[in-house]
Structure 1
Amino acid sequence: MTRYILRRLAISFGVLFVGSFLMYVLTINSGDPLEDLRESTANNRDTLIAARIDNMGLDLPWYQRYWQWLTGVGGCFVGRCDLGTDRSGSDVLSLLQQSASATLRLVTIATIAAIIIGIIVGILTAIRQYSGFDYVVTFLTFLFFSLPVFWAAVLLKEYGAIRYNDWIADPHVSVLQAVLIGIALGFVLQGVMGGRMKRRLLTGGVTAVFTISALLYFTSVGWWRSPALGPVLVILVALAFAVGITALVAGLGNKRVLYSTLTTVGIGSVLYFVLGGALDEPNWWLLLGLFASAIVVGLVVGYFMGGYSRGQAMGLSAVTAAFMAFLTFADRLVYAWGSFLQLKPRPISTIGASTPNFPGDFWETTLDWGAQLLLPSILLTLISVATYSRYTRSSMLETMNQDYVRTARSKGLSERTVITKHAFRNAMIPITTIVALDFAALIGGAVITENVFGWKGMGAMFKTGLTQVDPNPVMAFFLVTGTAAVIMNLVADLAYASLDPRIRR
């Protein structure tokens, strides 16, 4: 395996070298970097031209400039990274650090959300093949996949930002609106759950009644502007998640795993109150440390309580602990929503990655950051969900028709065990390739998204460098996207070996 990884790394460096060479040559030959100054009538035109020539090194041969850039990138391996300057003399490395943080958090969140949603939807449509739910999801996925990014972005800005901001100023849900939303959700959920007509009617009816009641209650108490979850709801949702994930993966008959996940929720409930004061004004390092600690607690609980199902108990307990940590984080954010609206009456902005000079505390600032991230993340997620769901559906259907799956069914194993332990793992092998390619593709697609939403990310830097025939910002963009593509492909290869031991040979 070590030889294989080293060989892949060597090939990847070769690909990056050739790609960087082509990118540099194409960029410097795409126009004249001095065109705007040659046409200028300013008195200091010659001084400006001389300054730009010096900043961009235009007095040197192209191959010498490329070699300077390449040696500067090589210095990154020894802590002396130098990506040169742009045509105005600004350090490109500093520009990249500022823009990469915005783009990578956008792409990472969109990728994770698309993977989770796409795989779940793909599995459900494979299990419910040729059902009404399958046809509706198929239609929607093809619709999302074919949406022009700029058009979908305009729709999101209109309905997800402008009209929502108008509504949240005086939020109200009428009885008719609540009934229509409840019926729509009930119809969708009964299609997902399936079953006989009696079960469908019961599922849809209960969902509709619950949704209508909740919407009318939230409107009557002013919950939309002053929401709260509270410890009771957090604990109940965490318990439901623990039981649900245990039933899905291990089965409720496996008492050791069930008790392990429930114990994890119990410990998390105690820590919810113990750590309340520390979360009043935290920082990201504290939150990351607490999140990692929660996962460790889950692993320890699973280790000591798992018994013969120790591995499964550790995994599910860790997932349950991570979910409860997320619920606690969400509870704090929801509680801060009222004060956030006082600082920013129109919470969803259509332009920018953050509100300049925002005066809020940690939770209010996080809400502002999340509100700015919401619309572009939804846009990128919708496009990727279509790909993941279709590939997952196709892969699951192919796997479920294999002989070993038929054998598992003939042995009397439950359908849950057949799907989770036999079909799902093997179906994920081709999906790892899509994940690797999609991450790099999303960074490239973020150029359009950032332009529409006014984000100052790598997309804006790439566009500016290309328009101004300035190679260093363009090469910085290539360096990040190319490296991301190489790393993700290497991760995909390692995931292959983890999912299918035969590949290791």
Structure 2
Amino acid sequence: MLKFILRRLGSSLLVLFGASILLFFLVVNSGDPLSDLRESQANNRDQLIATRIANMGLDQPWYVRYLDWLKGLGGYLVGQGTLGMNRSGQQVADLLSNAASSTLRLVVLATVLAIIIGVAVGIITAIRQYSGLDYAVTFLIFLFFSLPVFWAAVLLKEYMAIGYNNWIAEPTLNWGLIIGLAVILGLALQAAMGGPLARRAFTFLATAGVIVLGAYLMFALDMWRNPRMGPIVQLVIGLAVAVGATALVTGLRNRSVLKAGLVTVALGMVGYYATYGILYANPNGWIIAGLAVITVLVGVLVGRLLGGFSQGSAVTVSVVTALVMGTAIIAEHMMNYWPALLRVKSRPISTIGSETPNLKADFWVLFLDKGTQLLLPTILLTIISVATYSRYTRSSMLEVSRQDYMRTARAKGLGERQVILKHAFRNSLIPITTIMAFDFAGLIGGAVITERVFGWKGMGELFATGLNQVDPAPVMAFFLVTGTAAVLMNLVADILYAVLDPRIRV
């Protein structure tokens, strides 16, 4: 396996090397980098042209300029070089670090959400093949997949940013919208749950009732402008996740797994009180990242200690429960600071930029500001990617369900839950893993349009500016990140193949 990974890594590096030569050649021959200065009427035009020629090395052949960039890249990787300067004299490495941080947090979040939602939708539609739910989801998926990015972005700006900002200033209950949303979600959930007509009717009425009642209570308690949760809500969330995850993974009859989930909930409540002062004061990203690592480790430890003969399932349930409770705790602290954000930014969701410039506030206010700026482009990229994941998951699940070992599993008397999750789902993940690897790198490249529409200073802006100015240094920096991401994600896919299918390890 190690030789296979090293061989794949070596071939990928050769591909990157060849692609970098081709891209550099195409960029330097795509136009005239001196066109703006040739049209200038400035008295020192000749001096400006000579300076730019010297800075960009325009008096050298393209391959000499490429070798200079390659030498700089080698020094940069060992901390003794740079990625060059753009034609304005700025260090490309500094521009790259800022652009990569903006784009990667957008792409990573969109990819994770797309995988979770797309895989879940694909599994449900495969189980409910040729049902009304299957046809409705298929229609919506193809609709989302064919949406023009710029048009969908305009709609999101109009209704989820401008419309919401106008509404949050003077919140009012729109009963028509609430009832319509309740009916749509009720119909969707009853179709997904299936079952006899009485069960479908109860699911529909319960869902619609909860949405209508919840909307009224949130308005009456002013939850839109002053949201809050508290320990009781945290406990309910933890118990719901622990019981639900146990029912999904092994069934509630497996007491060891259920016990591990409930103990994780108890430890989560201890962590809620133990970390409240730390998180409420003025934390930083490193503290939250460290707490996240501790959360996962606690979940793994509880699962292994209490799982008995079902350690793997217990670890899964405990980790999921711990992560959801940790996310809920973070969400509560964000809610506590939501009124503070509204005081300094009355229109919280902006349509341009990745953060509000020159905003000086506490950590949570800045965190909320970046989160609201992240909302619209993340929704847009997620909607587009969900279509791909759901279609591949559905087709892969249907193909696996026709295999002989699936019929054998049912003939042995295994429950439908075990057949779907342990046999069908795991084997259907192999082709989906390939899509995950390519989609991550593809989203970084596809985010060019999204970032342009939403005014993000990310990798897309870096690439577009370099290309428009016929400046290879920023374009090659963009290629360095996207190419490396493609190589690493393909390497991760190879490792996941071996995890999912032990035959690949031989």
Which range, TM-score by smaller chain? over 0.9
Structure 2: unaligned runs, 5 residues or longer: none
**1:174 and 1:113 mapped to 2: Cα distance?**
29
Q: 1:323: Cα distance to partner?
A: 1.3
Is residue 338 of structure 1 aligned with residue 344 of structure 2? no
- The match for 1:78 is 78
Per the alignment, residue 110 of structure 1 pairs with: 110
Per-residue deviation, residues 435-487 of structure 1 (Å, max 9, x unmatched): 01111111111110000000001101110110110011111111111111111
Does 2:173 align with 1:173?
yes
Is the contact between residue 76 and residue 83 of structure 2 (CA under 8 Å) also seen in structure 1?
A: no
Superposition deviation, residue 71 in structure 1: 1.4
Note if contact 2:5-2:494 (Cα within 8 Å) is conserved in structure 1. no
Q: How far off is 1:130 after superposition?
A: 0.7
Aligned length: 505
SS of structure 1 residue aligned to 2:82: coil
Q: Which amino acid aligns with 2:321?
A: T
1:76-124 CA-partner distances (Å, limit 9, x unpaired)? 3422242111111111111101111101111111001100100000000
SS in structure 2 opposite 1:494? helix
Which range moved further: 441-450 or 219-228? 219-228
- State how 1:136-175 maps to structure 2 within 5 Å: 136-175=136-175
Q: Does the C-alpha gap of structure 1 residues 393 and 81 become closer, same or farther in structure 2, counting only changes over 3 Å?
A: farther
1:45 aligned partner, one-letter code: R
Pair 1:256 & 2:294 matched: no
Matching residue of 2:10? 10
1:130 aligned to 2:130?
A: yes
What is aligned with 1:426? 427
In structure 2, what is the Cα distance between the partners aligned to 1:28 and 1:313? 57
C-alpha distance in 2, partners of 1:171/1:348? 15
Structure 2 equivalent of residue 267 of structure 1:
267
Higher mean C-alpha displacement, 68-77 vs 164-173: 68-77
The CA distance in 1 between the partners of 2:85 and 2:46, in whole Å, is: 20
Q: Distance in 1 between matches of 2:169 and 2:90?
A: 42
Q: Distance in 2 between matches of 1:264 and 1:191?
A: 32
Structure-1 residue corresponding to 2:67? 67
For normalisation by structure 2, the TM-score amounts to: 0.98
Alignment of 1:45-444 (within 5 A): 45-280=45-280, 281-444=282-445
**For structure 1, which segment, 280-289 or 384-393, has the greater mean C-alpha deviation from structure 2 after superposition?**
280-289
Indicate how the Cα distance of structure 1 residues 435 and 459 shifts in structure 2: closer, same or farther if over 3 A, else same. Answer: same
1:335, distance to aligned residue in structure 2 (A): 2.0
- Amino-acid identity (%): 60
Kept in 2: contact 1:178–1:216 (CA 8 A): no
**One-letter amino acid matched to 1:323:** V
TM-score by length of 1: 0.98
Q: CA deviation at 1:178?
A: 2.9
Q: CA deviation at 1:148?
A: 0.7
RMSD of aligned Cα (Å): 1.0
What one-letter code is carried by the residue in structure 2 that aligns with 1:354? E
AA of the residue aligned to 2:98: Q
* Contact map agreement 1:229 1:331 (CA 8 A) in 2: yes
How far apart, in 1, do the equivalents of 2:258 and 2:450 lie?
A: 44
User: 1:192, CA displacement in angstroms?
Assistant: 1.3
Structure 1 residues 151-194: Cα deviation after superposition (integer angstroms, max 9, x where no partner): 11111111110111001111111444332322222112111111
Equivalent in the alignment of 2:462: 461
What is the distance in 2 between the residues matched to 1:80 and 1:410? 64
- State the SS of the aligned residue for 1:213: helix
Letter in 2 for 1:184: I
CA contact (8 A) 1:175 1:216 kept: no
Q: Deviations over 1:46-99 (max 9, x none)?
A: 111011111101122211110011111122342224211111111111110111
Q: Greater CA deviation, 257-266 or 77-86?
A: 77-86
Question: Partners of 1:311 and 1:195 in 2: how far apart?
Answer: 30
Retained in 2: the 8 A contact 1:121–1:389? Answer: yes
Partner of 1:23: 23
Give CA deviations for 1:368-389 in whole Å, capped at 9, x if unaligned.
0000000001000000000000
